[in-house]
Structure 1
């Protein structure tokens, strides 16, 4: 760490000096998510065009709560949502500062529609029970099968329930069966795998268009800077149930957040620069990387592959060596994940710039 004063200095260094002091360490001491051997968490490198637009957003510092101060950014958000929502069969949506807020927003709408408790798989993201707790709704986890998918035969009566299905679980990356089910509200947490809808693998999300709401993390497979997500809704009338107004507002405020930044601008720039083909190519490359590594792990007697990667998430363990030691050797390109009581190495193909040979060289050394 750099040597910093213990309190706010009475006399400032000046902006250039402060930037020189902090800027390079902030980059040099950060993980390089675009490195050839970077394959650890669900953290893709930001699209360069998105990073550039994020600077513009910060410089303008627009607040989309007040359209008069952000006319261009407000229109940009409308355009992006009009592009993305119909691809999932949704009628409208809004940006949120992360998919935790997107899940909370969706489950708030579910409660207003009459849902009295929340049901999700035991492998659902922690933001789902957290949202239920915030909303004062009982939470019922449902067991998962050997692959990590929600067991539908274990579902309770859903007449008064908000059922949350996961498209890309955090630990194993599996997609629950998304076929329609009779529930008061059906929400799909597609924070990770949602953007696969724009790829040749969209069939893995079959049934997602029957959801009442969908959450997608833009800072995952839309390759955006942190703090951007989308909450999408099938019915336009849902908006009224989560909208409030006040005398100081230029227009009614929908959703959990009030003040929020123009997060749609970097995503709009990315989609314009890459097009759907460019986005698809990067996601499909990530999935291919995971599958190629799975093939090598499956063929190597030193390793045990837990299951085939459905959305670019690998779970494997050494056949003989200590899992913790292997994870330590793979520091920065793996994490630990426990299935039952068994520890596994978890690697996520979030980096489209990753090189299979570079990653395998590290795995090979760790298993040696």
Structure 2
């Protein structure tokens, strides 16, 4: 026994002697809990310090100004100390980060985040579950399914529907187009599975219809899926930037006359620029009549699912064959946190591939819930925990009230812009975006006005005092507000508008008059 004990002690001593060389002190386990706690507190202190020092949503730094700070960093030479690494990070990232929680960040579909989501991030990062299979995630699998089922109920999809968490709207829309394509093929050719045999000869004639205002990921998806950009037919919109249902039906009929094959329609519930919601009921009627797959991209408008006041704006979404939801937009979750939902769960089999080491067929027959069977991803983060914690701490009612508050702010901002003598407003907001432009003194060419509005945005960004977006409509340059921060108030928007007009006056002061008007 003495020999065994001595040998054991020598081995242990040897292990301790080599621990530094092997880097084992950097691995999270029960022996490193104190170091983990101190590291967490250090990171928290850094974030606290940065936020207390930050008065603007952005520092205004340009790429060529920040690049030298990273150029001399040698990643082959570790600092070996978390405090030193955090100090460096403050210089090369945090000091110049774009802060979405700031009330004057009103540019893109980036939301401030709720505390329960941050709490979930702490837990999920430490455990590091991968929710592709039961034997990697256990209860995480069931929590994700519970959040999926809750969302399905909010959408109004029937029993037999299902879903899966995704990285966001682009991946969800890709899944929608994949399932629409493969389901159509299987309906027409029961013996032809695309995932086994590839596309059939007539696939070049398949057509998918969507609004001209829809997200670019629809074209991106058809390209990835072998159908090409030409498979997407863009339908014109009405005066409110919603898909024109009459023109949709005319386009479907024209395709039939041209020997083409309509297979799906994508309706958007919250377009990126205008927040417009396509007429879901009318599109649902058309899809049912022509037996087409109906997908609703509600990546932005999904916040209405919990809205106490405005849920009715999504009337008709329950008729969809598939739906995209981005919790990291209108549910105030950290990136990434999205999901894809399908009316009939069996359609998800189009993405199922069995691997003996991961999700053998026997596991499915035994009833083991392996979520990889319905995902195009294998390894997946436990992002559902963020929504779970948010629902358990805040509740859906408070989430909906927060989204309603930014809907109200959008209406108030619209009235401010309408009343301004030097601003042209393009539309009334249906959700929380507002497209507009600064109109300088009379006599300037359209090209000059375009350039002034582009430069207003750049000047604002350079100052860092506010961050706004830009877009083009009918070839002309516009500015855009995207409001997703419940802590932004009317006074903040008045300040942003004042900044826009200040830079607009400065930029137009020396602008040349249109030669035709001189």
TM-score (normalizing by structure 1) = 0.94
Q: CA deviation at 1:6?
A: 4.6
List aligned pairs for 1:122-137, cutoff 5 A.
122-137=212-227
Q: Which residue of 1 aligns with 2:454?
A: 324
Match of 1:150 among 230, 239, 243: 243
Deviations along 1:192-214, whole A, 9 cap, x unmatched? 01121211111111111100000
Cα deviation digits, residues 262-281 of structure 1 (max 9, x gap): 00001111122211111011
CA distance in 2 between counterparts of 1:150 and 1:52 reads 40
Question: Which residue does the alignment assign to 2:106?
Answer: 39
Distance 1:357 1:283 in 2: 19
Q: After superposing the two structures, state which structure 1 stretch, 21-30 or 54-63, moved more.
A: 21-30
Q: Which deviations, in whole Å up to 9, do the C-alpha atoms of 1:119-148 show, x marking residues without a partner?
A: 111111011110111112222222223332
Give me the whole-angstrom Cα distance separating, in 1, the residues matched to 2:232 and 2:455: 36
Partner of 1:241: 350
Question: Is the counterpart of residue 209 in structure 1 residue 318 in structure 2?
Answer: yes
Instruction: State the match for 2:210 in structure 1.
Output: 120
Q: Distance in 1 between matches of 2:232 and 2:278?
A: 18
Q: Which residue number in structure 1 is paired with residue 87 of structure 2? A: 20
Counterparts of 1:66 and 1:232 in 2: how far apart (Å)?
19
Shift of 1:356: 1.6
- Kept in 2: contact 1:244–1:254 (CA 8 A): no
Deviations 1:70-110 (A, max 9, x none): 11221210111111111112221100011100111111111
- Alignment partner, residue 255 of structure 1: 375
Q: Using the alignment, how far apart are the partners of 1:72 and 1:28 within structure 2?
A: 38
1:300–1:10 distance in 2 versus 1, CA, 3 Å: closer
Q: Distance in 1 between matches of 2:423 and 2:262?
A: 45
Is residue 143–residue 384 contact of structure 2 (8 Å, CA) maintained in 1? yes
Is the Cα–Cα contact under 8 Å of residues 96 and 229 in structure 1 kept in the other structure? yes
Of 176, 184, 187, the residue aligned with 2:295 is: 187
- 1:311 and 1:166 map into 2 onto residues whose CA distance is 12
Deviates more, 1:150-159 or 1:233-242: 150-159
Q: CA deviation digits over 1:336-368, x for unaligned, max 9?
A: 111102221100011111122122112123214
2:119 aligns with 52
CA distance in 2, matches of 1:17, 1:142: 55
1:80 and 1:24, CA in 2 relative to 1: closer, same or farther beyond 3 A?
farther
Compared CA separation, residues 24 and 92, structure 1 to 2 (3 A):
farther
Distance 1:323 1:271 in 2: 41
Give the corresponding residue for 1:170: 272
Question: Helix, strand or coil: the match of 2:387?
Answer: helix
Larger Rg: 2
Partner of 2:424: helix, strand, or coil? strand
Mapped to 2, the partners of 1:353 and 1:228 lie a distance apart of 22
Q: Which has the higher helix share?
A: 2
Residue in 2 that maps onto 1:291: 411
Q: Distance in 2 between matches of 1:271 and 1:304?
A: 40
Query: Which residue in the other structure is 1:307 paired with?
Result: 427
Distance in 1 separating the partners of 2:400 and 2:345:
28
Q: Deviations over 1:39-84 (max 9, x none)?
A: 1111001212212211221221111112122112212101111111
The 3 A distance-change label for structure 1 pair 206 and 330 is: farther
Task: Give the conservation status (yes or no) of the 8 Å contact 2:133–2:141.
Answer: no
User: In structure 2, do the counterparts of structure 1 residues 236 and 300 end up closer, same or farther at CA, with 3 Å as the change threshold?
Assistant: same
Using the TM superposition, give the Cα deviation of residue 171 of structure 1 relative to its aligned residue in structure 2, in angstroms: 1.2
In 2, Cα distance between equivalents of 1:228 and 1:36: 22
Following the alignment from structure 1 to structure 2, what is the Cα–Cα distance between the partners of residues 225 and 7? Answer: 30
Look up the SS of the partner of 2:328 in the other structure.
coil
Query: Are residue 65 (structure 1) and residue 155 (structure 2) matched?
Result: no
Given that 1:167 and 1:174 are in contact with CA atoms closer than 8 Å, whether structure 2 keeps it comes out as: yes
Q: CA RMSD in A?
A: 1.9
Aligned partners of 2:99 and 2:232: how far apart in 1?
A: 38
* Residues 129 and 381 in structure 2, CA contact (< 8 A), matched pair in contact too: yes
- TM-score when normalising by structure 2: 0.68
Per-residue CA deviations over 1:229-279 (Å, capped at 9, x if unaligned) read: 110111122222332211111346222111111000011111222111110
Deviation at 1:3, TM superposition (A): 5.0
